[in-house]
Amino acid sequence: MAHVTGIWRHPIKSHGREPLDTVMLRAGEAMPFDRLWAVAHERSRADGTEWAHCGNFCRVAKMRELMAMTASYCAETSKMTLRIPGHDDLCFDPDTEEARFLDWISEIVKTDSLRPARLLRARGPAFTDSPFPSVTLCNAASHRAVESEMSRTLSHLRWRGNVWIEGLEPWEERDWLGREIRIGSVQFHVRELTERCKATHSNPATGKRDADILGGLETWGHQEFSVRAEVVRGGTLSINDEVAYV
């Protein structure tokens, strides 16, 4: 039986990842505290009141070193801790200590890309890459197919997905489009495939680009990995929960 093997959230879009054992999902909403914040660059007009295209934000596709960042967020204390190799950790309140964050991240990001300018909290939909509040479902067998094609071991963290599933056939998730899937007590409507970018080329351990993932995906005639789904019936989702068609 297909089942959940990993749950991940990314509190600040492209700035760290955090593993979870269980999460409560609500209909019509993204995963709690997943992409709730995002870093607008100096040319962005995003203000957090509505969904904005990923091009408005600092992200791994343009700033490869961000891939090596990890995060942890405590809702009770409103404190976020960010960690990246070679730098001191930052523990801060993302809603009240924007300046501390911007000083810290500006020392890390040394590329010629657009500079970090504002740390935004979503006051409307979360800053997911889809214009609807989405949860990204990833098939571990599809990941292994990419590894096999590229003849190397690859961290699944390159995909920055939310829910990892074991026990499916490779690329079986592509047949989920337009269907409803139940995981534990949560029901999802699968709405779209996830088009990938050069963010996947960066190594989550080092932040260095070391693999042509997009070229590997082209073996199958596309550059897509995982599906984006909408929660249509909320509930608790946990590690080892079974996956079933509705």
220, pLDDT greater than 90: yes
Residue 42 has a pLDDT of 92
Domains, the chain: 3-29+130-245 (2.40.33.20), 37-121 (no CATH)
Residue 160 has a pLDDT of 98
Q: What tens digit of pLDDT does each residue of 143-166 get?
A: 999 999 999 999 999 999 999 999
Read off the pLDDT of each residue in 106-125 and give the average, rounded to a whole number. Answer: 88
| Cα radius of gyration (the chain) | 17
192, pLDDT greater than 70: yes
Read off the pLDDT of each residue in 189-215 and give the average, rounded to a whole number. Answer: 97
Q: What tens digit of pLDDT does each residue of 25-57 get?
A: 999 999 999 999 999 999 999 999 999 999 999
Whether the Cβ atoms of residue 135 and residue 227 lie closer than 8 Å to each other:
no
Residue 198 has a pLDDT of 96
Residue 231 has a pLDDT of 98
What HEC string does 38-56 produce?
Answer: EEEECCCCCCCCCCCCHHH
173, pLDDT greater than 90: yes
Residue 86 has a pLDDT of 94
Nearest-CA neighbor of 2 among 98, 102, 118, 140? 140
Residue 110 has a pLDDT of 74
Residue 77 has a pLDDT of 97
Residue 222 has a pLDDT of 97
113, pLDDT greater than 80: no
- Pair of tokens at residue 36: 């709730």
Buried b / exposed e along 64-103 (16+ C-beta atoms within 10 A)? bbbbbbbbbbeeeeeebebebeeeeebebebeebbeebbe
Give the integer Cα–Cα distance in Å for 197 and 218: 12
112, pLDDT greater than 70: no
Q: Name beta bridge partners: 194.
A: none
- Pair of tokens at residue 204: 């989550």
